[in-house]
Structure 1
Amino acid sequence: MAKRNVFVFGLNDFNLRMLEQVRGAEDIEFHRLLDESELVERKQYPIEQILEHARERLRAFPGSVDGIIHYIDFPVSTMVPILAREFGLPSAPLSAVLRCEHKYWARVEQAKVVPEYAPPFAAFDPFDDDALRRLEDEVGYPFWVKPIKSFSSYLGFRIGSPADFHEAMTRMRAEISRFAAPFDNLLERIDRPPEVADIGGGHCIAEGIIGGRQCTLEGYVHDGAVHVYGVIDSIRHANRSSFGRYQYPSSLPRRVTDEMKAVATRFMRHVGYDNAPFNMEFFWDRRRDKVWLLEINTRISESHCDLFEKVDGTSNQEVAVDLALGREPRFRHDAGEFRVAGKFFLRTYGDARVTRVPSAEEVRRVERAIPGTKIQILAREDADLSDMMDQDSYTFCLAQVFIGGDSQRDILAKYRRASEMLSFGLDTVREAA
């Protein structure tokens, strides 16, 4: 029997290795659909050009095109529904994806079906000099601002005063155009309700501050049925904005995660999302015993792939593959090597010139010395940290460290050892001059 062909946006060696371990992989051929350089960390995103390149690749393929999967945020997450419809493949409808991806529209829909889980919010034009006056009345300090479309906390700012707002808007005005036109291109392909019709990619959203213990639900919808197969804790640094690590499985109480699952089910059914994976971020305010819905992403989380593989024996890529091929996922939880897994972010504050990064041999030495460890170096030698793209607004990530262990204490100890063994050179003299 001929193998089925699944095309993967931006397929790299890290994800290919995981895909080759999923159930039924021996009967599937995985193909790269465009290079990562065409899809991520770009200064501009020409949607029509990227779509046409993908179409050309699919049309030129000599065999059958049986599925398309992705683990990349904008613009890929919003292009997959377009291509899937054109090639007759399973996918969530574009309108449902955009109801989740458009941060203001998502809040509008949440206010209809799960209003008690959403903070106060308002859309605004970052070029409107009078916007702050309205936000002070409608949302109130402190609040968080971010573009209608962004990712990984890029251009996200905590606002505690007018000075904070004006400083944030200086950068927002300089950089928001990177996403505005591409996202508007996608919005123009669907009908929007009056309350969001004039809120496009050049707008921002302000939201009341929510907080507590953060987690992410990984799930999917298949033939209208919503399933959640994993909950991952998202643990932040002391600055309360930058992620310190993701940890699986979650240590939140079962009753709390059950409440979150009920919210996810109500919302995904409401927006008509179907036959695709998702991940949904929440907070649990333990003191008030209050659950808050943060945001929805219309994809699996690449950050969680290795965590699932370490604990469950297979990555969440298996869910994406099954759905892309029109199959109901049967994710298992009984074949992992470790009880707990974490993805750690080795971060630094303030800009600097990178004078040294660990060599490939040094990385391999750490991985050999600490079982269950994988390391990805992100910083580049002889480059400024500020040149790294898509960082959050407060820190720079030097490396990502994936670790498996017997307990939380075990993975924390392994991470401390790994971070001590990884030697970076950072010259901050230039910044101080």
Structure 2
Amino acid sequence: MAIRNVFVMALDDFNRAMLERLQGVENLRFHSLLDLETAVDTRHYDIPALLDRARRQLRAFPGSIDAIVGFWDFPTSTMLPILRREFGLRGPSVESVMRCEHKYWFRMNQEKVAPSQTPAYAAFNPFDSRFPDEAPLAYPFWIKPIRSHSSQLGFRINDRSAFADGLTEIRDNIDFLARPFNELMTHAEMPEEVRTVDGWHCLAEEIISAGRQCTVEGYVLDGEIVIYGTIDSLREGVHGSSFSRYQYPSDLPVDVQEAMYKATHDFLKQVGFDDSPFNIEFFYEEDTGQLWMLEVNTRCSKSHSPLFEMVDGASNTQAMVDVALGRKPDFPEQGGDYRLATKFMLREHEDAYVRRVPTADEIAAIEADIPGVRIQIVAHEGYRLSTLFHQDSYTFETALLFIGGDSLEEIERKSEQVKGRLHFELER
């Protein structure tokens, strides 16, 4: 069988190792397209320059270009359909991706097929002089840029004072999101009522916080929607705004998951999304039975990848690669080594200077001693936590723990063992 060349946007060592364990990998070659420092870990996304660099790299490649994939959020997820279109590769249209990622356009489309699952919302210009004396919705509400990720510049607004504080933060910092998103918007055909709500705008939304949050993961191939897993999301911190861990598989009732699957199917058909993995976040209110669709991501979740691998025997990147190559994902039948898997986000709630992080040898020793454990260090020695990229508005991640086990008790026990051996030195 001929070797297929798969270009992966900003491929890092942790995720390369996961890709190299996929089914059928002997016939694949993975190549990093662009680098982590300029395409992901930066606050200065130069979209025209990034696209030009990617084009030059692809055109200079001596072999076949069979797929372009990625698991990063903004701006990777929006750059991918642009590059695929130019190189004649399989993937969703730029417009269908924008219908998911432009938060106002997303709510407009959601409201057409699932009005009961759509919170009250309103687009607004944060630079409008009427604010904060006026409010786009009744208090309390949540605000966030029209395009952001990882809850960046997202704030819970309880009153005028909180609105004023949130507007100050957004006005001072939205530039790093607004400029690149506006560049990406020029590549899509959009109705005028959406195009005028550009990257300098924000969305106010009704507060949805009571209940259980989860994520549905799947893929669409030639119009067929397939869901392969549901992951529970647990939150902590101020207003429950920060994720503390993900657990797979979900223990939500079957009928609730089926209702989410139907909403997923209806929405993806509405926006014309095809030939790509996806994940959709929901909130379920156990007391009332109310279901809310929170957000749609036009990619597989790299946060969930090790969890799928531990439980199912292959990560969700199997779908990412196979669908991009136009074939049904080849998931193993035997499953993984564990019944359950969890991703823990270790967080600090105050800024600090990082004097020391666990060494590579220390991490390797922990992983060798405790089966079913993988560790990623997020904090960087010699830097303040506030300088980390892709943090939410209230906390700072220091490390990620992926842990598999046959019960939650076993996973909790392993997590305590790992945390007890991770040697950080933080100076406040």
**TM-score using structure 2 length:** 0.97
The structural deviation recorded for 1:135 is: 3.2
The structural deviation recorded for 1:90 is: 0.2
Equivalent pair of 1:229/1:331 in contact (CA under 8 Å) = no
Q: Classify the secondary structure of the residue corresponding to 1:364.
A: helix
Q: Classify the secondary structure of the residue corresponding to 2:260.
A: helix
Task: Report the equivalent of 1:202.
Answer: 200
Task: Report the equivalent of 1:431.
Answer: none
- The aligned amino acid for 1:175 is N
Task: Report the equivalent of 1:100.
Answer: 100
The structural deviation recorded for 1:24 is: 1.2
Q: Classify the secondary structure of the residue corresponding to 2:81.
A: helix
Gaps of 5+ in 1: 429-433
Q: 1:21 to 1:180 in 2, by over 3 A?
A: same
Task: Report the equivalent of 1:305.
Answer: 305
Q: How does 1:16-415 map to 2 (within 5 A)?
A: 16-132=16-132, 134-135=134-135, 139-211=137-209, 212-239=211-238, 240-332=240-332, 334-415=334-415
Equivalent pair of 1:147/1:203 in contact (CA under 8 Å) = yes
Equivalent pair of 1:347/1:398 in contact (CA under 8 Å) = yes
The structural deviation recorded for 1:224 is: 1.3
Equivalent pair of 2:118/2:292 in contact (CA under 8 Å) = yes
Cα distance in structure 1, aligned partners of 2:229 and 2:190: 32
Cα distance in structure 2, aligned partners of 1:134 and 1:107: 22
Q: 1:332 to 1:114 in 2, by over 3 A?
A: farther
Q: Classify the secondary structure of the residue corresponding to 1:363.
A: helix
- The aligned amino acid for 1:291 is L
Cα distance in structure 2, aligned partners of 1:35 and 1:222: 28
User: Structure 1 segments of 4 or more deviating over 3 A?
Assistant: 131-136, 330-334
Cα distance in structure 1, aligned partners of 2:417 and 2:139: 40
Q: Quick check: 1:422 aligned with 2:389?
A: no
Gaps of 5+ in 2: none
1:95-123 Cα distance to aligned partner (Å, 9 max, x none): 00000000111001111111110100001
- The aligned amino acid for 1:161 is D
Identity percentage of aligned residues: 50
The structural deviation recorded for 1:65 is: 0.4
The structural deviation recorded for 1:41 is: 2.1
Equivalent pair of 1:277/1:300 in contact (CA under 8 Å) = yes
Q: Classify the secondary structure of the residue corresponding to 2:43.
A: coil
Greater shift in the superposed pair: 92-101 or 327-336: 327-336
Q: Classify the secondary structure of the residue corresponding to 2:194.
A: coil
- The aligned amino acid for 2:423 is S
- The aligned amino acid for 1:83 is L
Cα distance in structure 1, aligned partners of 2:249 and 2:281: 15
> CA RMSD, aligned part only?
1.3
Cα distance in structure 2, aligned partners of 1:84 and 1:346: 36
Cα distance in structure 2, aligned partners of 1:224 and 1:2: 27
Q: Classify the secondary structure of the residue corresponding to 1:171.
A: helix
Q: 1:72 to 1:82 in 2, by over 3 A?
A: same
- The aligned amino acid for 1:219 is G
Equivalent pair of 2:103/2:147 in contact (CA under 8 Å) = yes
**TM-score using structure 1 length:** 0.96
Greater shift in the superposed pair: 54-63 or 362-371: 362-371
Cα distance in structure 2, aligned partners of 1:363 and 1:270: 46
- Aligned pairs, how many? 426
Equivalent pair of 2:7/2:68 in contact (CA under 8 Å) = yes
Q: 1:368 to 1:330 in 2, by over 3 A?
A: closer
Cα distance in structure 2, aligned partners of 1:291 and 1:263: 10
1:135-158 Cα distance to aligned partner (Å, 9 max, x none): 35xx31211111111101111111
Cα distance in structure 1, aligned partners of 2:55 and 2:192: 33
The structural deviation recorded for 1:34 is: 1.1
Cα distance in structure 1, aligned partners of 2:330 and 2:379: 38
Equivalent pair of 1:124/1:131 in contact (CA under 8 Å) = no
1:259-281 Cα distance to aligned partner (Å, 9 max, x none): 00100100000001011111100
Q: Classify the secondary structure of the residue corresponding to 1:303.
A: coil
Equivalent pair of 2:23/2:331 in contact (CA under 8 Å) = no
The structural deviation recorded for 1:283 is: 0.5
1:182-218 Cα distance to aligned partner (Å, 9 max, x none): 1111112222223312100111101001121111111
The structural deviation recorded for 1:178 is: 0.3
Cα distance in structure 1, aligned partners of 2:236 and 2:413: 17
The structural deviation recorded for 1:299 is: 0.4
- The aligned amino acid for 2:226 is H
